[in-house]
A and B are shown apart, each in its own frame.
Chain A
Amino acid sequence: MEVISFVALAAGLIIGLGALGACIGIGVMGSKYLEAAARQPELMGELQTKMFLLAGLIDAAFIIGTGIALWFATANPFIAQIANLPK
């Protein structure tokens, strides 16, 4: 039981902290993009490509974390280890 509750907590932390970082990152980048686009509208197209590229990079770590956390939450790999523990 203890393992299940710890894994649930860990999954929450992985997703939550990852989301925190990714959202701050996307927010900072988005605001800078809007500022830059307002200052120099002729660069908008060029900056947009770069913004999407960076959005992909920023999101990556978060999405990897979410995938791992969901894996832990649904198909818990640690339960199999408990079964093998010496009693």
Chain B
Amino acid sequence: MAAEGQAPSAGEYIVHHLQHLQNHKQTAVVDFSVVNLDSMFWAITIGVIGCWLLWRAARSATSGVPGRFQAAVEILVEIVDTQAKGIVHNAASRKLVAPLALTVFVWIFLMNAMDLLPVDLLPAIWHVAGPAIGAKDYMRVVPTADLSVTMGLSLSVLLVCLAYNVKIKGVGGWAHELVSAPFGTSKNPIAALILGVVNLAMQLIEFVAKTVSHGMRLFGNMYAGELIFMLIALLGGAFTLSASGFALALLHVVAGSAWAIFHILIITLQAFVFMMLTLVYIGQAHDSH
């Protein structure tokens, strides 16, 4: 490949494909002025498509014999509703939480499903279209393979949890829980103070760990999946008119199919895990210790 001069090396190919289309280059590890335009665009587009699909199903729903599409959406709603009933034991909260979980599931599933498109399809289109409208030639199409998107999602879940903590337990009740759980409190004022500090520290660690692992899990799975698709694409890129070249191209087809089939499981599973943990965390906000 390197002999052609024009074609990028394997490392260059991967690095180029891992670069976001940004408003300006990221210099620090945390820089809130950087906007990943590609992730934003695809996340919002896919969110609108997901909402439109569900809206269409709800609009054309009949009480008679449902069509295939309506039956599929009904099954989906029922799955999420059963899980919500099992985890959040508060009928008033479920009016908001169950639709939230459904939205999270559908949105993340569709964003993950962008991974199943051929890895070079949209970047190749952007390779022609992007520079033509004066943009840089970078495009990443899987929004959930962007840490900013997944951490944004998990932070939103954290905010919902905090809101429910205050709503269900009241400010005083929640503040009491923050200093008295998980180790309890004591009648002795000095022991109560020490326990309070330890309890508060444990609670804060729990909130941070929950949120970080929630976002990192989804990101890690999708990022690794995307990277493996790129490596498989490199096998096909090594195609030449020789025995080993043919073998590599054949391996590309076999490995690509196998990984894509396995990835159908992963994208569904990760969307489901994210939805379930959203419900579990919100459910925890309803339980008093």
- What is A's interface to B at a CB cutoff of 8 Å? 49, 52-53, 55-57, 59-61, 63-64, 66-67, 70-71, 74-76
Contact = CB atoms under 8 A, between A and B. Distances in A.
A64 B216 contact: yes
B223 A67 contact: yes
B224 A53 contact: no
Contact of B227 (A49, A52, A71): A71
Nearest to B18: A75
B217 interface: yes
B210 to A, nearest CB: 12
A56 B216 CA distance: 13
Contacts of B83: 49
Interface residues of B, number: 25
Nearest to A49: B83
B82 to A, nearest CB: 9
B14 interface: yes
Given A64-B220, A67-B220, A76-B11, A56 B227 contact: no
Main secondary structure of the interface of A (DSSP, over half): helix
A35 B196 CA distance: 42
Contact of B14 (A55, A59, A66, A74): A74
Interface string B226-268: 0110110010000000000000000000000000000000100
A67 B272 contact: no
Given A74-B11, A75-B11, 15 more contacts: A56-B269, A57-B217, A57-B273, A59-B221, A60-B221, A61-B220, A63-B224, A63-B225, A64-B216, A64-B223, A71-B14, A74-B14, A74-B230, A74-B231, A76-B11
Nearest to A50: B276
Contact of A64 (B221, B231, B234): B221
Contacts, number: 59
B10 interface: yes
11 contacts: A53-B272, A53-B273, A56-B272, A57-B217, A63-B266, A64-B216, A64-B224, A70-B227, A70-B228, A74-B234, A75-B14
B270 interface: yes
Contacts of B219: 64
B190 interface: no
A20 B227 CA distance: 21
Contacts of B223: 64, 67
B133 to A, nearest CB: 28
A67 B231 contact: no
Contacts of B225: 63, 67
Contacts of B276: 53
A53 B272 CA distance: 7
Nearest to A56: B273
Contacts of A64: 216-217, 219-221, 223-224
A67 B145 CA distance: 11
Given A57-B217, A75-B14, A75-B18, A70 B224 contact: yes
Nearest to B269: A56
Contacts of A55: 269
